[in-house]
Amino acid sequence: MKKKILLITVNRSDYGIQKNLIKILNQDKNIDFGLLVTGTHLDRKYGYTINEIYDDGIKIKKKIKLNQTNYNSDEVITILSDGIKINYKFYKSVKPDLIIILGDRYEMLSAAIPCIFLKIPIAHIHGGEKTEGSFDDRFRNILTEISSLHFTCHDIYKKRVIEIKNSKKGVYNFGSLSVENIKNFNFKSRNDIIKKFNINFRKKNILITYHPETNNTYYSIKSFNNILEAVSKFKEINFFFTSPAPDPGNYDIIKSIMKFCKNNNNAFYIKSLGRDYYFSLLNNVDAVLGNSSSGIIEAPSFKIFTINIGSRQNGREKSKSIIDCADSSSEIVKKIKKIYTFPYKKKIKKNYNIFYKPNTSKNIISELKNFLKLN
């Protein structure tokens, strides 16, 4: 008898990370697989990234539109409340045998809480991590506490999950799904990127991806303005900005990005890259600058530096290509200059990604099947 597995995706990032896993689950004859799409996938300000799922030919089981507009604290509370009610009603009707969630988003929390009351087991991906500059830590640890299966991407994260659960049962480190994807990725060419987003490249190029530090919204705006002040001094470098995460404070960051790009011909704002073009852009830049987890987890696979600004990613394990940097404009300027020096160019060629393990998707699916007694 087939088992029903429901996977929740709330944004372009978690869908891209799980894309290979989703495709394998969708093709498995012993699994009745469904995809629940919610969050910024259905928000045109973030590129309406549900279209990427349609393009991949993945059948969507359910779409849940959340009224995300201002991304302030009051709205987050409403989203949590509405999401819990809507998800509870949906789960009750479809009766999944297992739900898969990833990461630490508040949208994921609203999708997970109904499982407690309906006694639906949860498989949680990317638990045990730390991001001290945001409130995501608390969401992530709650998700860990209420989940039955855990797939971390580092042994230290595995150990942390075991400490939270006070048990080794159902806790595995199979490496990062996203890093596994990079190994066999079909990259878009530089010309493809230019045509798609109407941008251009120079000899030197840097990707900027910065999210609100949700523990201190005022601080994050000030920090981002320091980044803009620093990069304005490098007219010979092209800077590509991506959208910040939908957290309180993101609207002010977007306004600053748009104004900066309007006034600087070497700066480009790309609302939504999607996973294919995001990886392809990483393959064509010299560094990532900002405070995104992608700079910590994925960027090292491209043998490029990450200039990690501020405290949002404090607590994460880091490859040697990660350069931590205070958020002052003078320090950021120093770090940008440093990555273009000969010793640093030589150093990056020897870099390896600490989150890579072979057969990540295959091993996760094997344990999912063991749990559901399908093997």
Q: Are 237 and 204 in contact (CB under 8 A)?
A: yes
Structure token pair of residue 43: 């928000």
In 220-232, which positions are buried (b, 16+ CB within 10 angstroms) versus exposed (e)?
A: bbebbbbbbebbb
Pairing mode of beta strands 305-309, 31-37: unpaired
pLDDT single digits (tens) 245-254: 777 778 889 9
Q: Are 363 and 172 in contact (CB under 8 A)?
A: yes
Placement of tokens 């006034």 in the chain: 263
The whole-angstrom separation of Cα 209 and Cα 199 is 17
Q: What is the pLDDT of residue 77?
A: 87
Q: Are 200 and 162 in contact (CB under 8 A)?
A: no
Q: What is the pLDDT of residue 339?
A: 94
Q: What is the DSSP string of 328-359?
A: SHHHHHHHHHHHTSHHHHHHHTT---TT--TT
pTM over 0.75: yes
Three-state helix/strand/coil letters over 256-290: HHHHHHHHCCCEEEECCCHHHHHHHHHCCCCEEEE
Q: Are 358 and 177 in contact (CB under 8 A)?
A: no
Whether the pLDDT of residue 275 is over 90: the answer is no
347-367 average pLDDT score: 94
How buried is 239 (Cβ within 10 angstroms: 0-12 exposed, 13-18 middle, 19+ buried)? Answer: buried
Q: What is the pLDDT of residue 138?
A: 86
pLDDT single digits (tens) 34-51: 999 998 888 887 778 899
111-129 average pLDDT score: 96
Whether the pLDDT of residue 136 is over 80: the answer is no
Residue with the bigger pLDDT between 36 and 57: it is 36
Whether the pLDDT of residue 69 is over 70: the answer is no
Q: What is the pLDDT of residue 217?
A: 55
Structure token pair of residue 265: 């011909």
Placement of tokens 């600087």 in the chain: 264
Whether the pLDDT of residue 267 is over 90: the answer is yes
